[in-house]
Structure 1
Amino acid sequence: MIKLAKLNNKPEIFHSVQGEGKNMGKPSIFIRLSLCNLYCQWCDTDYTWNWEGTPFKHNYDQLPGYKKYHKEDLIELLSDEQILETVRAMNCNNIVITGGEPLAQQKDLRSLMKALKEQNPSTHIEFETNGTLKPLPEVDSLADQYNVSIKLSNSNVAIEDRIKPDAITFFANSPKANFKFVVDTNEDLLEIQELIEKYKIPRQAVYLMPQGTTVASLKQKQQWIVEICKQYNFNYTDRLHIHIWGDKRGV
């Protein structure tokens, strides 16, 4: 059984377009898993980890009425067949397994990934991961793409929790991996450069994305970040779903 996040009291599986990174604009089915091994203070999927009784701080703490989540209310257990049935009805062969941190459940995902490929051999499976967990060999053999988002100090996550050299080295050497960095300030760029140099991350696999949850905040940083991409031969990525739907879940 796999632990999925819940949206409107249903498992969060939805058909949309990829909003970020290498496959931006590509029709995709998103399977959002619950649970995460990190605790980013600006996380927009805090309902996958910010449970009652945990000590983590979040930017939403300042919002009236915001409180930590009751874990049992936000997790739905699904079998492989239940997930496959939902995916079949959506008629799309690009699957994005996201979270939370999906590789936290990778042992349970092996049979699902195999079944997805058997159901449709043209299925392309992407993982959206924070780059702290090294994929198991069986998971890696079935995965087609890793969208790796290493967390920076602006996440307010302890460095020993967010920087795992063995996992980063694995992804840096994988032809399936691309790296998406969320940029807000010049300090972020310095940190990104240090990571690229230390772990020999290929520049052609690096995507810079402006931080923001509104169209206005994204536009404010676009031109500056595009110039950085031109200077260092990085790729630029926007947040397409924000431009289309705004800061909403399940789209």
Structure 2
Amino acid sequence: MSAPHAPAATTAARSAGSGLIVAECFGVEQPTFQGEGPSCGHPALFIRLSRCNLTCARCDTKYTWDWSRFDPRKESTKRTAADLVAWAASSSVELVVVTGGEPLLQQRHLVPLVQGLVRAGKRIEFETNGTIPPDRALLVDGVRFNVSPKIASFGVEESKSIVPGALEAFATSGRAVFKFVASSVADLDRIAELAKAHQLAPVWVMPEGSTAQAITATTRVLAEEVARRRWHFTTRLHVLAFSDARGR
């Protein structure tokens, strides 16, 4: 069994050189759309980066960090920012979602990627767990952060997943929304505590589930309380449409 993933993630990010460690890119050859959050349903391209600094039990992309189950040599490649920009520019789709894993582990090498994508007329959404403050060079027009702090019910210790300084940096950036996975009303109560403590707004809630049936059931558990709190609600459209198929 390999060493725990966190040191590996740190080492990988430091050794990436001029390239980014990428798990997969999709949306050009086989069209898809953003499945969650404010842009749910918008046509989108995805650049999924490898490595993460958390080990969430309910993570649905463990192939980006869990080297006890997956081989990093098979699950990731190094690609330059120029290569990724050229890939995205080959499509007329405007929205590029940079996700992971945790993309901000590699944010020093994300700056030229963002600059190239913006020059190519793209807008960018980062999907981040909110534990790493964003580099100032990423806080530019055309970039938004979908910040998804992971609460304890997602299978992670909040002492690791909730980083007040990072959350507050996103909150004051004016470029972030806060998207929480929830499966119960108790989860919503915890989300409310975090939103109040760290001034997180706007709040989006997404029902936990990896099947259409699970998402539908959880939506019905949460909907009344989410509406009462005047929060935003988002589904997981890619799961409903594509049965959680990888690369869609």
Shorter-chain TM-score above 0.5: yes
174-183 or 123-132, which moves further after superposition? Answer: 174-183
* Structure 1 residue identity aligned to 2:183: D
Aligned residues: 227
- Distance in 2 of aligned mates of 1:229 and 1:175: 23
Q: Is the 8 A contact 1:36 1:100 kept in 2?
A: yes
1:236 aligns with 2:233: yes
Q: Match of 1:119?
A: 120
Q: Match of 2:107?
A: 106
Q: CA deviation at 1:75?
A: 1.0
Q: Match of 1:36?
A: 52
Q: Is the 8 A contact 1:114 1:142 kept in 2?
A: no
* Structure 1 residue identity aligned to 2:198: Y
1:13 aligns with 2:26: yes
Unaligned runs of 5+ in 1: 6-10, 53-67
Unaligned runs of 5+ in 2: 1-18
- Distance in 2 of aligned mates of 1:174 and 1:116: 20
Secondary structure at the residue paired with 1:90? coil
* Structure 1 residue identity aligned to 2:21: K
Q: Match of 1:2?
A: 20
* Structure 2 residue identity aligned to 1:37: N
* Structure 2 residue identity aligned to 1:110: V
Q: CA deviation at 1:85?
A: 2.0
- Distance in 1 of aligned mates of 2:113 and 2:171: 26
* Structure 1 residue identity aligned to 2:91: M
Q: Match of 2:223?
A: 226
Q: CA deviation at 1:142?
A: 5.5
**TM-score, structure 1 normalization:** 0.86
Q: Match of 1:70?
A: 71
* Structure 2 residue identity aligned to 1:115: G
**TM-score, structure 2 normalization:** 0.87
Q: CA deviation at 1:163?
A: 1.0
Q: Is the 8 A contact 2:35 2:236 kept in 1?
A: yes
- Distance in 2 of aligned mates of 1:106 and 1:185: 33
Q: Is the 8 A contact 2:139 2:173 kept in 1?
A: no
- Distance in 2 of aligned mates of 1:181 and 1:119: 31
Q: Match of 1:25?
A: 41
Secondary structure at the residue paired with 2:189? helix
Secondary structure at the residue paired with 1:22? helix
CA RMSD, Structure 1 to Structure 2 (Å): 1.4
* Structure 2 residue identity aligned to 1:222: T
